[in-house]
Amino acid sequence: MNKTDCLIVGGGPSGLFAAFYAGLRGLDVTIIEHQDRLGGKLKFYLDKIVWDIGGVEANTAANIRESMVKQGLTFDPTVHLNESVISVNKERDVFKVETTKDTHYAKTVILATGVGVFSPVKLDLKETEDFEYENLHYYIEETKHYKDKHVLISGGGNSALDWAAHLADGIANVTLVCRKDELKGYEATIKDLETKHVRIIKQRTIEELRSNQDGTLIDRVVLSGGEEIDVDIVFVNHGYKSDSALLESLKTDVKMNEHNQILTEDRVKTGVDGLYAIGDQVHYDNRVHLIATGYPEASEAVNFAKYYIDKEERDYATVSSHNEKFDELNKEVRRNLE
């Protein structure tokens, strides 16, 4: 049985820093991430400017994500993408982690699942699978791909309205379709849409997608009521559905609140020795939901994990100057700074 020292569930900001710090403390690390890439929720707003990470200048989420991933991979952890954890169970002194693809074993586990495993609510049309990876989108990574396009957005909530306003700000020609007679967004955002001349079609849904001649792209959308609209891109924002299998497997051993957040002791302890939780999945008094909050939680969880594995080790901080791996890396950094 191959056992990793520390298995981290989730490759978002908190999980990536945990992977870095675990490597710094000499632990063998495995990361399991249900998405197709690391970076967590930053993936969903890559163009957004992020200001609230201490000591980091304002930058796009895309650039910050790139830096986080690079740091998280410093000590070469094993990474499994497109793999969801179904259950975590402790059998004697070993954690058995079942996933959608395999069974993994670990001495310790750090849960860094963020707000959970979510997938977008997709259009319930027979033809949608043909267009999944073409010009039918369920999240927006980089708005440069939308430049000068006619974008039809389906959705009436805050997120859909925010994207409509953003894209209509000199990027794209936007049509917004919602099934209700009122929009759910903030009043200021709705006024912004009117100012930017976004066409808003209420009490309509997408009934049919029609493709171009070679069948690779959507070029026309048919709405309920019969109206047909020529489009370049269709962006569907109908919310997200969660997969609660992992949380259900933990409920007999781990305390949770009514929102399925893990109630921790000492910020990161779950009540199960060797099992820790960090990031937005965690709840304790006065916790602030920022990316930066997950960093001290990550280092604390790793230190507890290190001490749990080897009681001879100290359970307090180690810094980068204590690790010989940085001798050569520091030289490279200094050369780049010259």
Please tell me the number of Cα atoms within 13 Å of 120 on its side-chain side: 20
Give the residue numbers of the binding site. Answer: 14, 33, 41, 45, 85, 118, 280, 321
Q: What does R_g of the chain's alpha carbons equal in angstroms? A: 23
Give the residue numbers of the binding site for FAD. Answer: 14, 33, 41, 45, 85, 118, 280, 321
Max Cα-Cα span within the chain = 72
From residue 247, alpha-carbon distances to 27, 99, 252, 260, 319 in Å are 26, 13, 10, 7, 33
Q: What are phi and psi of 115, to 5 degrees?
A: -85, 10
> What proportions of the chain, in percent to the nearest 5, are helix, strand and coil?
30, 25, 45
Q: What is the dihedral of CA 46, 52, 54, 58, to 10 degrees?
A: 50
